[in-house]
Amino acid sequence: MNTHPLTAAQVKQFNDEGYLIRRGYYDREEMDLLLQTARADHNMLSHNIPVKDASGRQSQLSLWNHPGDDIYGMFSRGRRMVDAMEQLLSDEVYHYHSKMMLKEPKVGGAWEWHQDYGYWYQNGCLLPDMASGLIAVDRATKENGCLQLLAGTHKMGRVEHGKFGEQTGADPERVKVAIQRYPMVYFEAEPGDVLFFHANVLHASAANTSQNPRWSLICCYNTKTNDPYKKSHHPNYTPLKKVDDDMIKKVGAKGSSDDQNSFLKKEEDQTIAAGKK
C-alpha cells in the first residue's frame, strides 16, 4: 500500500508555490460514480446554501463537517487524498469539512479573492497549517469560472478580510498589488484532476458565463497539532479513519446511502476479522 502518493519534488512545489496540480488523480469511473450520485442527491441539492457575489450573481454550496460512509466520504477519507495531505502538511491531519461547490451555467457567480485561513483564523486555528484538495467534478475552464490562484502568496501570511456582497474577501488593496507581483494560475481541469492548495494562498473564481456547469468537491483538512483552541462551526481534532482507495468504486456502485453504509460496515468487519486470523 502506497502511503506516500506524492514525490519529494511535488511536496517541494507545494511548499514553494502554495499549490500542486495532479492530473488524472481519480479515474473516469470514479468521477462518473461521483457525478451520478451528486446529480441525483436530492438531499444535498435541497440543502444548498446560495451565496451571491458583489454583482448579485449566485453560486451554491453544500457543506458538511464529518465524512460519512457514502461516496463523498470515500473521497475525503481515501488514502490517496489523506496521505497526500499528510505529506504536504508534515503532520497527521483530520477532516475539517468538505463542500460541493455548484456553479451553474450563465447564473453561477464569482468568488472574491480570499484566503481560506482568512475565514478559519476566526475559528480558533492558531496556525495556517491547513490545506484543501479540490477535485474537478465537471470540466473546468476560464469560461465556466475555474478557480484561479496567485502562486506563492501563501508566504504573505494572513491578509485582513472583509465583506464584499455576501462573501468575505481579502483586502482589495493588497490583492491588487499581489496580482501585479505573483504569477496567476488558472486551474483548467478535466474531471478527476485535483488541485491541492495551502490555506493562505490567495484564490478566486470568475462567474460562469458558459453553457456548462462547474461542480467541484473540495475536501479541507487541518493538522492534529493545530487543534482549534475554541469551539466553532467546524470541528476540533477528530481522528480520521482512512479507507482504501478502491472503496470509491465499491461504495459508489451500491447507489443508496443505506446500501453504502451497510456495504462499508461489511468491508470493515471483514478487514478486522482478517487481521485477527
The domain limits of the chain are 8-276
Q: Which of 31-40, 49-58, 206-215 has the lowest mean pLDDT?
A: 49-58
Of residues 246 and 167, more confidence is placed in: 246
Secondary structure, 3-state, the chain: CCCCCCCHHHHHHHHHHCEEEECCCCCHHHHHHHHHHHHCCHHHHHCCEEEECCCCCEEEEEEECCCCCCHHHHHHHEHHHHHHHHHHHCCCEEEEEEEEEEECCCCCCCEEEECHHHHHHHHCCCCCCEEEEEEECCCECCCCCCEEEECCHHHHCCCCEEEECCEEEECHHHHHHHHHHCCEEECCECCCCEEEEECCCCEEECCCCCCCCEEEEEEEEEEHHHCCCCCCCCCCCCCCCCECCCHHHHHHCCCCHHHHHHHHHHHHHHHHHHHHC
> What CATH homologous superfamily does 8-276 map to?
q2cbj1_9rhob like domain (2.60.120.620)
pLDDT in tens, 124-169: 999 999 999 999 999 999 999 999 999 999 999 999 998 866 677 9
Range in 83-87, 94-98, 111-115, 160-164 the model is least confident about = 160-164
pTM value? 0.89
Q: What average pLDDT does this structure show over 208-218?
A: 95
Percent of the chain residues topping a pLDDT of 70: 90
Per-residue pLDDT at 275: 34
Q: Give the mean model confidence (pLDDT) for residues 191-217.
A: 96
For 23, 106, 109, 191, 215, the CA distances from 59, given in Å and listed in that order, are 26, 11, 5, 20, 10
Indicate if the pLDDT at residue 65 is higher than 50.
Answer: yes
User: Sorting pLDDT into bands at 50, 70 and 90, what band is 108?
Assistant: confident
pLDDT of amino acid 219: 98
Q: With 80 as the cut, is the pLDDT of residue 47 above it?
A: no
